[in-house]
């Protein structure tokens, strides 16, 4: 599973934090309801914001459908909200949509489509998307299997302190010789210097 429970929770908290920055009382109420575990109220408060085009609210609503919080779990509804946010340029929405394609939740499993959405989010510096690109390269899902590129993406996410990426980077390094590790590190630096646009 590319996007685990902790990761989904982190995305939801991040989306809720971004939404809180909008300064609307209904957002504060939605967050308070969510934190208290009153998911039905949170859904009711997020819904109009999401329908109004707020990408952060769309991600939050998608995650709540994805996790079955306040509503029955509905992957197709989650995909709908993630796609709306992703199409608005939300890195969280793009990463979440990539995970849905990777896992085949609410959509037909499609590694190439997962890579597309993870790349878009990774270009915005999303560490979870960067980590997931490492997983896809390591396993050859949606892209040709490539340990050096897996190392590159794990290394980038690890530099941001992402614990799973640190562990996967070290495991990936064990499958490379010293020259390949050095090449992977050089590729990672170039990728970062190019704002994640020259990473292939």
Give me the pLDDT at residue 65, please.
97
Q: What percent of the chain has pLDDT over 70?
A: 86
pLDDT at position 76 over 60? yes
Q: What share of the chain is helix, strand, coil (3-state, %, to 5)?
A: 70, 0, 30
Task: Check: CB of residue 134 under 8 Å from CB of residue 154.
Answer: yes
Looking at residue 109, the DSSP 8-state letter turns out to be -
pLDDT of residue 56: 86
d(CA 138, CA 148): 9
- In the numeric block, the tokens 């390591």 are attached to 138
Judged on CB neighbours under 10 Å (0-12, 13-18, 19+), 81 is buried
pLDDT at 35: 85
| pLDDT confidence tier of residue 24, bands split at 50, 70 and 90 | low
Other C-beta atoms within 10 Å of 69: how many? 17
pLDDT above 70 for 8: no
pTM of the model: 0.83
Q: Both tokens of residue 139?
A: 């396993």
CB contact at 8 A, 96 and 62: yes
Residues of each domain in the chain carrying CATH 1.25.40.10:
1-109
Q: Compute and round to an integer the Cα radius of gyration of the chain.
A: 17
What is 1-109's CATH topology?
A: 1.25.40
């Amino acid at each position: 599973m590319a996007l685990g429970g902790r990761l989904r929770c982190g995305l939801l908290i991040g989306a809720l934090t971004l939404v809180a920055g909008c300064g609307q009382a209904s957002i504060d109420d939605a967050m308070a309801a969510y934190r208290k575990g009153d998911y039905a109220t949170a859904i009711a408060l997020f819904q109009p914001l999401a329908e109004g085009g707020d990408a952060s609210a769309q991600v939050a609503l998608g995650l709540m459908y994805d996790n079955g919080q306040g509503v029955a779990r509905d992957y197709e509804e989650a995909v709908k909200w993630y796609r709306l946010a992703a199409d608005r340029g939300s890195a969280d929405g793009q990463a979440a949509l990539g995970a849905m394609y990777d896992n085949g939740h609410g959509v037909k499993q499609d590694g190439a489509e997962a890579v597309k959405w993870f790349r878009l989010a990774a270009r915005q510096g999303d560490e979870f998307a960067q980590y997931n690109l490492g997983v896809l390269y390591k396993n050859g899902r949606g892209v040709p299997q490539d340990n050096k590129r897996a190392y590159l993406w794990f290394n980038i996410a690890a530099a941001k302190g992402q614990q799973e990426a640190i562990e996967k980077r070290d495991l990936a390094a064990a499958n490379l010789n010293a020259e390949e590790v050095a090449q992977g590190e050089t590729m990672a630096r170039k990728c970062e210097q190019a704002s994640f646009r020259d990473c292939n």
